[in-house]
């Protein structure tokens, strides 16, 4: 993937030399000469595609140098190409994919190789925030916990200035589920300490026996009434806050940092500006020793062979293929396929189909070698660029990445979303100047200037790198963190609900 946008005119951006389409930098009126000798034969909305040549019926429509689909009817040069005009190609096979063919080691040097974080006693990735998280085992206790956490924030948190927040880790799992079903391992892995007492997802499934003590676990059904529940939670929280308040930030190497990359509310500019900028920042992080995760199975499936070429070994390639097969089967069981993605908003933003969305999505991974592939919510054993297989849904991917160990997430968007995570800061990067103008107080980094030729991907990627280090070090807050725009944890549960 190139680190440069290709503005063939002030009105059009072409991604690859083989492309026979380009996307509109802004709305183009019918009759406008958008490129030398090419006039729009109808109105073309911003971010949508214009045909650069005559495309016959059945002809390939090419963007990113790949076939997005086949024209269902002839498309004249200067014509608008939208989602109703293309037949989706067959997905690439995951059998015998080439691996270790495209291993890039000449990565951009990071301007910094340290950050200020919280060293963890277990030797895992360092924290970017000092937060007391209270985990539930069942959704039924959410109301009690939320009331208690509000009281904790008001009465306890001000006494412990070194603690950033108290976070309820609520979810909709734990009751009425087929807990022994094979795929129940996914949500259980995701939720590894407050319990109602009768749920199938018991405390023993989430924590080690040595941690299952009154100091760590409260069973609400053993307490006499609501006030007793809140009092018990308050008492335990204060004991934990006293310990957390002793933690201090220290200078740590980037190898102690784990970052997640995700995109949502994407448009056709996402793969031109925001995602490549994130990919450049990712490459600098990896070069500096950090771990970076990218995800979203359906949003890489059509480019999986390109990802395989970056896998460092056959074992990593095989795990990638296995995750793709698993998800193909998962969708088949639900009698849907990958065409269910993209969303109507994606299509309004110029993305015709999942092939186009996938090619843009992959750009956020940069060019680094892929050292490991993870199943949903698995913890990594390697450091570097990792593919963490998760659903593409924003509110499911985020919790999966959290469970895999990220301590900060970078989120690229073209259409806009106020998504956020309570347990980790989320930095928003937008793909268009118009998005930043619309949501000036929600977007942290604007990659839009790259589409207008006003900045390079390297410049925006470097800006994003500095933003990541600043937020990770506690010197800055993203807007989502500042406003506490926190989604509930939506735990991926492919097991049956009983």
Report d(CA 248, CA 493) in Å as an integer.
36
Which pLDDT score, from 0 to 100, does residue 3 have? 53
Which pLDDT score, from 0 to 100, does residue 207 have? 57
Strand intervals (E) in 264-335 = 291-294
What pLDDT, in 10s, does the model give residues 474-496?
A: 999 999 999 999 888 888 888 77
Of 24, 47, 115, 66, residue with least CA distance to 430: 47
CA distance to 47, 169, 374, 377, 388, per residue, from 403 (Å): 35, 12, 11, 5, 11
Which residues are registered as beta bridge partners of 51? 21
Task: Give pTM, 2 decimals.
Answer: 0.92
Which pLDDT score, from 0 to 100, does residue 217 have? 79
Report d(CA 290, CA 385) in Å as an integer.
8
Which pLDDT score, from 0 to 100, does residue 339 have? 83
Report d(CA 52, CA 54) in Å as an integer.
7
What six digits make up the tokens of 245?
């308040």
Helices (H) and strands (E) in the chain, counts: 13, 23
Tokens 């934990």: give the residue. 240
- Residue ranges of the chain whose pLDDT lies below 50: 1, 193-202
Which pLDDT score, from 0 to 100, does residue 172 have? 76
Which pLDDT score, from 0 to 100, does residue 365 have? 98
Its CATH class, for the domain covering 6-87, is: mainly beta
Total residue count of the chain as it appears in this document: 498
361-365-369-372 Cα dihedral, nearest 10 degrees: -80
What pLDDT, in 10s, does the model give residues 13-35?
A: 999 999 999 999 999 999 999 99
For CA atoms 319, 325, 328, 329, give the dihedral sign.
negative
Backbone angles phi, psi at 69, to 5 degrees: 170, -175
Which pLDDT score, from 0 to 100, does residue 142 have? 87
What six digits make up the tokens of 18?
């083989």
Which pLDDT score, from 0 to 100, does residue 198 have? 42
Backbone angles phi, psi at 285, to 5 degrees: -60, -45
What pLDDT, in 10s, does the model give residues 357-383?
A: 999 999 999 999 999 999 999 999 999
Which pLDDT score, from 0 to 100, does residue 178 have? 67
> DSSP secondary structure string, 6-25?
EESSSSEEE-STT-SEEEES
Which residues are registered as beta bridge partners of 33? 39
Any idea where the domains of the chain sit in the sequence?
A: 6-87, 131-244, 251-482
């Amino acid at each position: 993937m190139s680190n440069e946008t290709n503005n063939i005119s002030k009105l059009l951006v072409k991604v690859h030399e083989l492309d026979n389409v380009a996307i509109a930098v802004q709305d183009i009126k019918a009759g406008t000469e958008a490129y030398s000798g090419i006039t729009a034969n109808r109105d073309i909305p911003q971010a949508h595609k214009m045909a650069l040549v005559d495309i016959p019926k059945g002809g390939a429509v090419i963007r990113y140098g790949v076939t997005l689909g086949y024209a269902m009817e002839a498309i004249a040069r200067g014509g608008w190409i939208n989602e109703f005009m293309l037949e989706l190609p067959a997905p690439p096979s995951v059998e015998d994919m080439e691996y270790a063919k495209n291993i890039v080691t000449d990565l951009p040097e990071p301007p910094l190789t340290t950050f200020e974080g919280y060293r963890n006693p277990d030797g895992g990735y360092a924290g970017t925030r000092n937060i007391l998280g209270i985990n539930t085992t069942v959704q039924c206790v959410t109301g009690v916990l939320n009331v208690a956490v509000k009281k904790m924030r008001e009465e306890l948190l001000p006494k412990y200035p070194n603690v950033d927040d108290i976070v309820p880790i609520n979810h909709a799992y734990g009751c009425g589920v087929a807990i022994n079903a094979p795929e129940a391992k996914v949500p259980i892995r995701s939720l590894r300490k407050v319990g109602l007492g009768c749920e199938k997802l018991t405390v023993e499934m989430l924590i080690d026996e040595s941690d299952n003590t009154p100091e760590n676990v409260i069973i609400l059904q053993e307490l006499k009434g609501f006030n007793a529940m809140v009092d018990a939670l308050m008492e335990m929280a204060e004991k934990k806050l006293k310990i957390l308040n002793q933690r201090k930030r220290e200078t740590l190497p980037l190898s102690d940092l784990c970052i997640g990359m995700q995109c949502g509310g994407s448009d056709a500019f996402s793969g031109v500006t925001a995602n490549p900028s994130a990919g450049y920042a990712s490459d600098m992080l990896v070069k500096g020793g950090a771990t970076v995760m990218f995800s979203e199975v359906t949003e890489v499936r059509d480019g999986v062979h390109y990802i395989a070429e970056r896998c460092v070994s056959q074992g990593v390639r095989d795990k990638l293929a296995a995750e793709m097969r698993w998800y193909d089967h998962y969708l088949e069981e639900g009698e849907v396929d990958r065409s269910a993605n993209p969303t109507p908003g994606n299509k309004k933003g110029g993305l015709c189909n999942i092939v186009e969305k996938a090619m843009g999505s992959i750009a956020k991974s940069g060019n680094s070698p892929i050292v490991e592939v993870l199943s949903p919510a698995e913890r990594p054993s390697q450091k570097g660029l990792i593919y963490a297989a998760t659903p593409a849904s924003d509110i499911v991917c985020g919790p999966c990445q959290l469970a895999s160990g990220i301590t900060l997430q970078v989120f690229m968007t073209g259409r806009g979303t106020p998504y956020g995570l309570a347990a980790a800061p989320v930095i928003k990067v937008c793909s268009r100047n118009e998005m930043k103008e619309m949501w000036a107080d929600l977007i942290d980094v604007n990659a839009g200037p790259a589409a207008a030729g006003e900045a390079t991907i390297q410049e925006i990627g470097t800006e994003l790198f500095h933003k990541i280090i600043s937020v990770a070090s506690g010197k800055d807050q993203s807007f989502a963190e500042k406003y506490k725009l926190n989604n509930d944890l939506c735990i991926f549960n492919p097991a049956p609900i009983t």
